[in-house]
Structures are given as C-alpha cells and as structure tokens.
Structure 1
C-alpha cells in the first residue's frame, strides 16, 4: 500500500483531499468551452464597455428565503427569484449575443430541482456556451466581518459542488463577486485565491478610500491576502465596481425602475436616442481601455424583456457611432471576460496587503454596528457550525448506519444548507428583519434535528450501546432533566479537536461540567469545595498554578491579573458601559444608530455602575467562581479552572433598558497598564491577525469624523493589545465589534438595543423582543490570557479553536449494558490513530460520496507567529484514521471543485506595496515597479503522493 504524506510546507496553509476508501472514482467533467473561447470579441483600439446583466438576490433580508424565492409577501418587497430565472432563461434564447450571470446557488438549486428535462437541457447549453455564467458560486454571498472561515469554506464548497456535479467544468465560477457585503476581509480574498478564482469584484468601499482611488486610477489592484502563504498562492486581482452594483444613473430598465426607456422611433414623440447615447459616453476611473458596467440590481430581471430590449438598443446605437469616428464599443459581457481583457493588457497593478474595514459611506455613517447586532443569533450560528462539524465527522466514523440506524433516518445535508444560508451577509450579520432572524434560527434548529438522529446512530455504532441519548439544550443555565432525575447518568463527550469520544458514568451529584478544549477528565467523581482567601485589602482568587486574579475590595472590580508561570502582573480593571445611540437629530448629521450603523451621540460612554456587588460562589478543587452584579440587567461570573491558562468572564446583559427613550450600545472595557501606543490586533474571519491603529488607515490619509465608530473593527475569535513584555488576548465565543480607544485599553461591544432604523433598507429598529418581550437577554464568554508576546499564539490559538469547536455532550440513563465496549466509569473511542501535531487541525472530515471522504488539514499558525509551531509539518494520511482504510488520495483546490494540479490561475504584474502612511502624510507614496511575480503552477504547497481519479489505486 502506498504511503501518503500531506506536507503542509507553509504556515497557515489549508490542504484539501478526497480520500478514496474502496475504489477510485472520477469526477472529471467534459469541457465544452474555455473562458477565453466563450467571451465576445473586443476592439483593442476602442474603449470597450462590458455590460454585465445581473441580479442581486439576497438569501433572506426583508423577507425569508422561501418568501423571496416564491415571491410571497410582496407588500414588504416585490421580489420573486423563481420568476427571475424563468424570465432570464427565456430571454437568453432569443439572441446568442445576450449574457447573464447568476450568483446565489441556494436559489438556483431550488429552481433547478423544479425544472423539466427540456429546460435543463436548454440551461446546460447556455452554460456550455458561456452565455449563462455562474459567478462566486457559493450557497450564498457571505458576510465578511462576522463569519468564521470554516463556515465560509463549507458554504462555498456546498454551492461549488452542486454546480460541478450539475454542469461540470463549464459551471465552475472563475470570479468571486461580493457586491453587497459591508466591508471586505483579507481572509476572504485568501480563501477565494486558494479556491482557484482569477479575480474578485465588490461594490462597497469606504467613501474616502474610493475618492482617492478614483483620483489615482487605483480602483483595481492585486490583493496579497496572506502574510504566510508564498505569493502568488493567496494573491487575488481585485476590482471595485464603478457603480456599486447598480447600473449607471439613468440606465435602469427594470420594472422596479423609473428611468426612461430608449425611444428610437423618430416618427414618435420623445425620441431620445441621441440624449441617452451622449449621456452614456462618460469617462470612468480605470487604467485600461475596458470598463465594466453592472446592469441590474436587487431582485431585478423578473421581466427580463425590459432590460434586454433596452440594452439591445443601447449597444446598437452607441456602436453605430463608430462609423462616424466614435471610439466606444459596447458589448454584452461577464466579469470573467472583463477580467481576461485586463489580464491581456499586461499592466502593472498596485498591491494591497491590509483589508477594507471599517466601511463608511459618509462622514458619520460607519457600518460597524453590525459587527455585534443580534448577539444571540451570532452565538447560535457559531454553535451550529460546531454541531455541523460533529455531524459531518460522525457520519464518516460511524459508517452507513449513521444515516440509517436504530434511531431512524438522519442526514447532514439539511444542516449544511441551513448553515450555508446563515452565512449570508444579511443573516449572521444581524441586519435582517426580526421575522427573518427567527427564520434563520428555525432553519438551524431543523438542521440540527436531522443531524441529531445521525449523531445518535453513529454514537450507538461506536459505543456499542443503543440506549436512548439525550442532548441537553439548556446546559448553559445548568438545566438537564435527565441528570436531575436519574440516579446514574452515562454521558459521552465528542471533541472535534482530537476526534475522541469519551463515555463517562456519573453518580447524581450536583456537578457543573467543564472541559478543556483538548482533553477531558473522566472519572466517577464527587464535588468538593474550598473557600476563597479574603483579607482586608482584596479578594484573592488563585488559579492553582497558572493565573492569579485580584479584585478591589472597595469597587468589587477586577484589579490585577498575574501569570504565575512567567511571573508577569498587569493592572487590569474591567467594567461595563454603554454608548447612547444617536437618534439622528444631531446638527452634524441625521444618521441614527441601527442594525448596520454604529453612531454614538458622544465619545464618552456611560458607566453602568462604578462598583460591582460580589457574591462568592462554589469553590472546588477544579473551579473557582466569583459572581459580580453591576445592575439588575448586567452581571458576570469570573472563573478560573484548574489546569487552565485563561480567565473566563461569563457576562449576562439584558434586557437593555430603553425607558429613557435612548437606544444603547453596551460594551465591556478592559483597562490595563500595557503600553499599546494606539495599536491593537484583530483576527480576520478567525484565521490570520491584522494590526490596527487608532485613527489610521494604511493606504490613505484618514480624516476621522467618528472617533468611536470609526475605530471599531470586527473580531471573529480573538483580539489583543501588547507591548514589549506583555500581551493581553481576549478570545470571544462569537463575532463582535472591538476597539482600543485609549492606550492600554480594549473594549468589546456585547449587545445593542436601538430605537430607530438607520435608513439602510431594513425598515425597523434593532430592538429584539426577548422571551417575554422586555428585550433580549444575551449571555456569552470571554477568555483572557496574559503572556509574553512571543508565547501568546501557543496559548490563544488552541483556545480560539476550542471556542469554535466545542465538545458535544450526550446523556443516557443508567449504566452501559454488560456486552458494550465500555467500562462503567470510563471508556473512549478515537477516530484518529494518533493525535495530530499541535499545529495541525483537521478542519474538514465529511462524507463525499459512497466511496470517498473529503478532508482538509490546516496549519493553524501564521509564519513567524510561534517559534515552536510555525514550522512545516508532514502528516501521514494513510495512518490518520482508526476506522478508515485509505487506498488513495487526490488533492483538490480549497473549494474541492477542481484537482489541484489542474489549477491554472491568471498571472498578474504587481507593484511593490507602498509603505504605510505616516499620520501626517498628505499623499500616498508612489508605486514602484518590479518584475512580474511567478505564477502559481501545479507544484503544490501541500504536495502528496496520489493515485489519479479514474485509475487503479
């Protein structure tokens, strides 16, 4: 048998494989056309205007996914996606020059299932000819601030696989298309590059950044999206669309538009061809003789005849002027065809290495509120992602009986689709109407119900016990009827980080369960307690051997944090505050805070209470707790666990009071004596970390107009401040907004309750009702670590992964039967033969088809982040799993829709990155030319000995 080694040669690398378990299968697809052969001819001596007919179909926003698809509840918004696709397919058949792009696979998947074989043949032919082109191709167009990279990769894979299975190579998207998300993350660009995309286009750009780029003709650039991956592996050509994603002013011809149609009969009144043609011939802010024009908008083309009839005329009359010397050529096109022309121009493009956060569309309009909006939904989405990974992995480890076993029929597909929809930029972002938020949560619950059956079946196979299992959904408030009523309880813990199932038997004592993210103690144990040490000056809480925390005896607030391993101590004061939300009556601007926009009416927050009432709770040999009460609606439990290097802060906020007529943005602030010098650090979608600086942007001279909101950034898993000696890292359990307004300070927004809509379309204030309609109560956890900067990653990386991939607990009444595989009080099953190296994470393990599984191995550390763990690592795939016999493997692109060796991305000439601007800079530094970078060839950074699909293993 061939030994298969996965070599993760660079830090922060993700390698994707299909492991062949019983026989080699082929997913090769016939290629009817290439991108170049299907593109319309352009005229090199002219200005070529690429008209891109498109529709932007939100996978839920003002209406639910179902309502948008069917065209229901049009009193909220007139939109029916099924009619858009019907109409477009009809119109494309009438003229071979016409083209259309489609983005949201979640909608197309629904529509395709309802079509006749004849319609499917027509659509397939349109795809083969390049006239219907899929762009982006994920299940949705995901948000970029509040999504975790693992969930983004999953939803992209879900959509790309459907397109590949349905249309083969001709359905593979070549361009990423994020025209509506509210700011753009570097990690998303890195993901798209590793998935084989040639380029990326988006519509929303900070108004100051856009003005500068338009002036300097830098609306298109090469985005170097990773500091760890060797260029050009994570390089992505990126373009800002000139009109956002709308048509040019005056050229909207949808039934929802009011622009005049082209009236081209000179015998009739209001002939306007000359006027419209002249208006169209305006200059644009781009470097080549090619311009892209988005011809469409939200849910347009329900009557595609309106659009195509007028665009046909526009093309006809503008191009007719070429006979009179005009140098403008208009044509139907697609983003990939436009991108191809830019590549052929062989120009040198500016290089970008940071990201596009925060986003503002005007001086007082910063879209930084949605980083925190709907905190409960954000947490539920994160927990659902963890449960989906459990479901995927147990489906593989348990074998065929997982989906059809003693507990009935289960599946992972329902949960995959629900999580795919939840990544949408108006879903986990919290920017949807309330009834739509309920629908997203309902879908996740339904998905888990399907997965729950699968998990029960799989655990029965792996444990040998078919006794009914219970998943206690209210463990966060220590409620589980089974453990409260049974004399003896058997519970199983499935940890996705080490892929271990451990089964435990507990006598019914009043226990609180806690788990290290990497290991679990399992014994028949009884709790034992000890007292806190209390003296005249402070309340001391000792963490056994790693951490010490002190509380001020006057205020009841945290006062210091000590790392006992490194003998480091910092002053640490933590409290809760709120910003009063602007109601829009400020003389500077009428912009209020809302679901999208964060705009406090003052730069100084209000402290909820200057003191905290301390209650000393249970202290045992394994956990020490202090409960702090700041007000009737804000409390916190401070915990230290035996053997842990982190301090846990479990906060509870809500219902946020609004009787004073003011909306509130609630934060917690950590004030320290760390000399952070206006710098702080945030993760990008849970992966690489970026440096932030107060009142500063790396690529332009910022004119700061909102000193608080303009300094907020998204965090998905962690943020930190540091100086030469100390680093304080905060790990979060969901996506939130963060900033460092003061030196040595880190503030995190936890909850928002607002009284006004922010005029961005959602049409209602963000004031979630909660269980009893008094306002939402949100609860969450922050983990704090104190380390020297050069040791920090080794601590906070595993903590962050543990927060994302939490163990799943299941409970059974009684003890195992005599013929089970497990001892009464302990037992375990591991899906891995050996533990993976600390730097390697099994990101994906899911059933691909009957004979193969999809795996992704991830190098978790950035280059130079860890002296110990940022080194290359080799993993033997053949000896990886305990229940799977691996006969062969093939490496794929990150999206698993293309063989890695077949990836052939466009090459681009790049300029050197400009130096960061000093605060006093007035103009950007000039670009310096250099030679073109080497193209990403078939030599893989994750090289592996493979057996080719379609050949014998």
Structure 2
C-alpha cells in the first residue's frame, strides 16, 4: 500500500537520462544519484549545482523535469556522507565501535556518545555538516547513514539510533547553534526542502539550475573509468534481451487469448495459471536489472543464480506463448484442450542449461504437412525472413491458404568446413500481421518442386583441412584465399576483403560514392600495475593491437534469392555478415553477428572496430536504453 515518491540510485555506475524520464512518468517527484565522475562532482559542488531539475534534451519546456540530488563525495558509505573529511565522518559510524568486525581505515575509531563527550562530539560532527551544506543552495541538509549489508542485526540499529539521538538531542537543545537535526527518510528530506523554499513537491525551486544530458562514463578516481562493465558477461546481457522480448510477446498473446476465451465464456478451459508465470518472469527480469546483475559484476555464484532464474522464466514464457498461440490459431475454439503433458506446439529452440547456447529445433518432415506458427509482437505489419531447420532438402513452404511462399534452402554448418548431416535451413519470406499470428505449411516435396538452393563458396586460405560437403546444396571449395568481392541487393552493395572475410565498404543503390566501413578485430591488453581491467574497469595497456590468430580465416560465402552472407572463421571468433535481398527494413540493413570464445585469453579483450570515412569530427551518438539517442 506504499506509493514511492523518491528515486534512490546510489550504486549504478553512471546514469542515463532515460531514468529521470521514467521516474517522472511514474509520478515520482524527486530522485538521488551518487556515482558521477569525480570531476563533474567537483565542478557542481564549486558552483552549488549539486541539486538541479533534470530535463530531457528533446523537451522544449519543463514537462519532463524532475528534481535531482547528487551526492557530493566519493562514496555513499558513512565516512563519505557527513562532510568532506572521511577520517571524521567514520567516527560517527557506530557499527565500527571498537570490538566489532569492521573498523575505520583512518585509525581513529568511533566513541560511544555519553553526557561527558556529547558536546565535543556534536560540535565536531556539526562542523562537517556545515561544510557539506555550503555545497548546496538550500538550508536543508541530507546525511545518509548506511552502507552495503547493513542493519541486519538489532545491535547495529541500537548503536546507530541511540548514539545519534543523543547528538540530535544536544544539538536541538542549543538555540545558539541554529540547527535542527532529526532522523528521516529520503522523501522526508525532499519534503523539508520543498517546505523551506515554499514550493509544491516536484516543482522547480526558485534559483535552482536545469540540466540536460546524462552522466556517462563514470570514474571514481584518476583514469579509472567504469566502462569495463559495458561488455562484462555479454552472454547474460543477451539472455536478458531474449527474455525481455519473450515477455512482451507472451503478455500480448496471453491477453489476446484470454480476452477471446472470456468473450466465448471459455475461460474455465484456458490455463489462467499462466498469469503467475508472466508475473514471475517479470520479477526475474526486473531483478536482473540490478546494477550488479545486467552489468555483469556479480560474484560467480550469484551470476549463476541469475542465469538459472532467467532460463527458468524463458522456458515458462515459451509455454505461455504456446498455450495462447494454440488457442488463437484454432478455427473452432470448442476444440481447445489444454494438456500440459502434451503441448499442441513445439518450442522453436531449447537451452540445456543456464550457460548454454540455444539449440534450434529441427522439424522432422513427413508425408503429411508440418505447420509453423509465427508471431509478430510489433505494432506494424512486417515482411520478414523466417528461419527454420528441417531434416530434408525436399521441402516446400506454403501459406495457410496453400500459396507457395518465396524461400531458400541452405546447409547448416557445425564448423568452418563441416556441415551438420541431414539438417537444412529453410528461409521463408512471410508477411506477418501486426500483433498477429501467421501459420505456414511445410510440405515434403518431390525433387522437381524443391525450394531454391543457395550456392556456397568456401575459401580455405591455404589451410589443409578436410571438408565435409552437404549433399543437397551446391558447394565450391577454393584452396586459396578469395579476391575482394561484393554482395548486393536492391538497396545496398557491401564489399568484403577476400583475405579476412570482413566488411570493407558500403554503397547505397543509385549512388556513386562508396563509403569506407572497414572492420577488423583488435586486442586490448591490460596494465602491468596492480590496477587491471576487470568486470568494472577498462584499464588497457595502451592502444588496441591487431588481432593475430594462429591461422588465417576460412571464409564461406553463401548466395541465394532471399539472403547472402559471409562467414569468417577465426581461432577465437566466427563472424557472419548477412544481407537480406527483400523489400522493407531488413533489406536496408546489414545483420552482423559474432560467436566468441576467448577462454584461453588471460587479461585480454577482443574488440570489433568499424572504421569509416564519415567526417563527424569529435561528435558521435550512442543509444540510451533503446529509448533515445544521445549526442556526445
């Protein structure tokens, strides 16, 4: 029954400007942040700008404004919250009283407050409070009193409360000190500030500044930039997005199916228990937004627990999607029967454990047609290439009405030179209705009516490796490296290095100008000093150096009516650049994917760099939360 009014975010590593927007839209009236670059803190403190209205860059007035308090010092722990001197502030963290498990690094311990020392102790603390208050514009001061893993035992509650209450009682009994000190919540602080300056909560206090922009990247000292976490544990960052997409799809389909069932008075036969699976998935996804979860900075056992939760929810959401799609595709809803032991539809892919790559389901072809149900969770109709694995090259794809659909048959590869036997990928061009389902038919076909095959060229680059050829898809093997070559569709021409298999340039259809977009892999080392790159920090040992694998890459070029692609196999990474030959958005873009295994690399990071001839000077743009783009 509690409605939050204030945002508290002391430990994310830098702050996106999307956050104040979301908090404002959630009816919060103020927020607090802490981990901001130390140079920005210093400047804001010097100019009394640590409290401000945070506004979106694209907002012409003040509709997105939210009041924001920035903490001024190094940390959110007690030594860094009472004032500028941590040696003094630490003496007022009463969990650190002598005899406890933690102490003050500055070698001066706290002392319990007594009648004999309260005057001296209170004056010492008040001096820190006054120095801190000079960094802010109002006469109301916030002094947080906490840290990680605190208030887990009653003894600490008593130590903090009783000692501080003695200090507060002394301060409040001395009118000549001109101070009123009390315990309070974050919202109590903001309420007191609003009251002092005489405004309604959420309004801009007179004379306070307005800020636009964000607070990336964060550094807490020297050149210790906390940008290492951008790429830490990327597997789980990917799993997060997969779960998020499935959650959106499952929520939409469950809502549509349930509305349908209720209208037909059939909701008693529908698995309403799926709602609990949706709620649980939402909670696990929400939990993973923690600053040590999606950031990739949790301890190993905690990271595994997150992974187990994400996979559990992903599997449950696939069941929710299957149940809803089952109900919605039936022409006669009276035929619907929910049997958890025998799902009507199979899953598109499975994961054997929380740290496994997904394995796509292979559809076994038979004399009777197999049906494929495809869902589009977007609000726009899409013309999309749908990929499916089958166990026969003799396959045709028809619409629900029996019309043939454009398709392409390709081999599936286990490695650079070895195909998966008796498994083929069928790519189908299908028009998918907005927020809708489409049923496709897969028919085993006589040889004469087969799906168009893609053709494949394999360049071995002088390597003596055996090649296992596909049976039903043409393959041409070249012992040497390729010359430079290009792929194109009606929108784009993409040219590649024959030696590396990596992208070199792009040209838009109808234009003569070729844009250099060369890509190459690089290696960052880390410093030889004690401070090294890790889950949080990016501390390279200088400029990146070219990635030099043991062997040259095997390059595979696939060309077909719906898509063409270039796959390059290196020792530690395989990369695929795909160009779709279809109208619409997919044909306007290049699809780039990398599968990386650097387990034999110690203190090294692999990077893919795109170098262009775009003359943007020092300006570049980055995405913020998939919500907005920020100029830097």
TM-score, normalised to structure 2, is 0.73
Query: Cα gap change, 1:512/1:377 in structure 2, threshold over 3 Å: closer, same or farther?
Result: farther
Given candidates 139, 162, 167, the residue that maps to 1:314 is: 167
Range that drifts further, 528-537 or 245-254: 528-537
C-alpha distance in 2 between matches for 1:543 and 1:418 = 43
Q: Could you say which residue in structure 2 is the equivalent of 1:907?
A: none
Given candidates 589, 607, 611, the residue that maps to 1:671 is: 611
C-alpha distance in 2 between matches for 1:460 and 1:652 = 34
Shift in Å, 1:196: 1.6
User: Could you tell me whether the CA contact under 8 Å between 1:277 and 1:314 is conserved in 2?
Assistant: no
C-alpha distance in 2 between matches for 1:320 and 1:516 = 78
Q: Could you say which residue in structure 1 is the equivalent of 2:208?
A: 349
User: Could you tell me whether the CA contact under 8 Å between 1:489 and 1:507 is conserved in 2?
Assistant: no
Shift in Å, 1:441: 1.2
Shift in Å, 1:518: 6.8
Q: Could you say which residue in structure 2 is the equivalent of 1:173?
A: 4
Query: Cα gap change, 1:604/1:420 in structure 2, threshold over 3 Å: closer, same or farther?
Result: closer
Q: Which has the higher contact order (CA 8 A, sep 6+)?
A: 1
Q: Which whole-Å deviations, capped at 9, do the CAs of 1:62-117 have from their partners, x for residues lacking one?
A: xxxxxxxxxxxxxxxxxxxxxxxxxxxxxxxxxxxxxxxxxxxxxxxxxxxxxxxx
Give the number of equivalent residue pairs.
507
Given candidates 582, 591, 594, the residue that maps to 1:648 is: 591
C-alpha distance in 2 between matches for 1:306 and 1:536 = 73
Query: Cα gap change, 1:352/1:384 in structure 2, threshold over 3 Å: closer, same or farther?
Result: same
Is 1:253 matched up with 2:134?
no
Q: Could you say which residue in structure 2 is the equivalent of 1:359?
A: 218
Q: Could you say which residue in structure 1 is the equivalent of 2:376?
A: 495
Given candidates 368, 372, 391, the residue that maps to 2:227 is: 368
User: Could you tell me whether the CA contact under 8 Å between 1:264 and 1:273 is conserved in 2?
Assistant: no
Q: What value does the CA root-mean-square deviation take over the aligned residues?
A: 3.3
Shift in Å, 1:500: 7.8
Query: Cα gap change, 1:539/1:604 in structure 2, threshold over 3 Å: closer, same or farther?
Result: closer
Q: Which whole-Å deviations, capped at 9, do the CAs of 1:897-929 have from their partners, x for residues lacking one?
A: xxxxxxxxxxxxxxxxxxxxxxxxxxxxxxxxx
Map of 1:564-575 to 2, 5 A cutoff?
564-566=509-511, 568-575=513-520
Shift in Å, 1:591: 2.0
Map of 1:287-326 to 2, 5 A cutoff?
287-302=137-152, 303=154, 304-322=157-175, 325-326=176-177
Shift in Å, 1:668: 0.3
Q: Which whole-Å deviations, capped at 9, do the CAs of 1:592-644 have from their partners, x for residues lacking one?
A: 11111111011233333599635334422111122112x31122112111111
Range that drifts further, 412-421 or 447-456: 447-456
Shift in Å, 1:274: 1.4
Q: Which whole-Å deviations, capped at 9, do the CAs of 1:125-178 have from their partners, x for residues lacking one?
A: xxxxxxxxxxxxxxxxxxxxxxxxxxxxxxxxxxxxxxxxxx1xxx21111111
C-alpha distance in 2 between matches for 1:408 and 1:436 = 32
SS state at 2:177 partner: coil
Shift in Å, 1:352: 1.4
C-alpha distance in 1 between matches for 2:430 and 2:101 = 55
Shift in Å, 1:279: 3.1
C-alpha distance in 1 between matches for 2:518 and 2:567 = 16
Q: Which whole-Å deviations, capped at 9, do the CAs of 1:416-442 have from their partners, x for residues lacking one?
A: 111110111111110101111111111
Query: Cα gap change, 1:383/1:179 in structure 2, threshold over 3 Å: closer, same or farther?
Result: same
Q: Could you say which residue in structure 2 is the equivalent of 1:528?
A: 453
> Which has the higher Rg, Structure 1 or Structure 2?
2
C-alpha distance in 2 between matches for 1:672 and 1:404 = 59
Is 1:439 matched up with 2:305?
yes
Q: Could you say which residue in structure 2 is the equivalent of 1:472?
A: 348
C-alpha distance in 2 between matches for 1:195 and 1:463 = 37
C-alpha distance in 1 between matches for 2:150 and 2:481 = 70
Query: Cα gap change, 1:260/1:545 in structure 2, threshold over 3 Å: closer, same or farther?
Result: same
Q: Could you say which residue in structure 2 is the equivalent of 1:793?
A: none
SS state at 2:232 partner: coil
Q: Which whole-Å deviations, capped at 9, do the CAs of 1:187-213 have from their partners, x for residues lacking one?
A: 111111122221111111111111111
Shift in Å, 1:273: 4.4
Q: Could you say which residue in structure 2 is the equivalent of 1:899?
A: none
SS state at 1:655 partner: coil
Is 1:394 matched up with 2:256?
no
Q: Could you say which residue in structure 2 is the equivalent of 1:591?
A: 531
Query: Cα gap change, 1:517/1:212 in structure 2, threshold over 3 Å: closer, same or farther?
Result: farther
Shift in Å, 1:408: 8.8
C-alpha distance in 1 between matches for 2:170 and 2:113 = 11
Shift in Å, 1:328: 1.9
Q: Which whole-Å deviations, capped at 9, do the CAs of 1:392-437 have from their partners, x for residues lacking one?
A: 1111101076997577942311111111101111111101011111
Q: Could you say which residue in structure 1 is the equivalent of 2:70?
A: 240
For structure 1, which runs of at least 5 residues remain unmatched after alignment? 1-166, 693-953
Shift in Å, 1:555: 4.6
Is 1:413 matched up with 2:272?
no
Shift in Å, 1:221: 1.2
Query: Cα gap change, 1:605/1:521 in structure 2, threshold over 3 Å: closer, same or farther?
Result: farther
Q: Which whole-Å deviations, capped at 9, do the CAs of 1:804-845 have from their partners, x for residues lacking one?
A: xxxxxxxxxxxxxxxxxxxxxxxxxxxxxxxxxxxxxxxxxx
Is 1:623 matched up with 2:563?
yes
C-alpha distance in 2 between matches for 1:504 and 1:360 = 44
Given candidates 42, 45, 49, the residue that maps to 1:211 is: 42
SS state at 2:174 partner: helix
Query: Cα gap change, 1:514/1:212 in structure 2, threshold over 3 Å: closer, same or farther?
Result: farther
Is 1:608 matched up with 2:548?
yes
Q: Could you say which residue in structure 1 is the equivalent of 2:190?
A: 339
User: Could you tell me whether the CA contact under 8 Å between 1:225 and 1:236 is conserved in 2?
Assistant: no
Shift in Å, 1:320: 2.3
C-alpha distance in 1 between matches for 2:430 and 2:158 = 60
Query: Cα gap change, 1:420/1:574 in structure 2, threshold over 3 Å: closer, same or farther?
Result: same
C-alpha distance in 1 between matches for 2:548 and 2:250 = 42
C-alpha distance in 1 between matches for 2:181 and 2:627 = 42
Range that drifts further, 555-564 or 573-582: 555-564
For structure 2, which runs of at least 5 residues remain unmatched after alignment? 83-88, 104-108, 198-204, 331-335, 338-342, 394-423, 443-449, 458-475
User: Could you tell me whether the CA contact under 8 Å between 2:501 and 2:555 is conserved in 1?
Assistant: no
SS state at 2:347 partner: coil
Query: Cα gap change, 1:277/1:578 in structure 2, threshold over 3 Å: closer, same or farther?
Result: same
Shift in Å, 1:522: 5.2
Q: Could you say which residue in structure 2 is the equivalent of 1:264?
A: 114
Q: Could you say which residue in structure 1 is the equivalent of 2:631?
A: 691
C-alpha distance in 1 between matches for 2:12 and 2:430 = 36
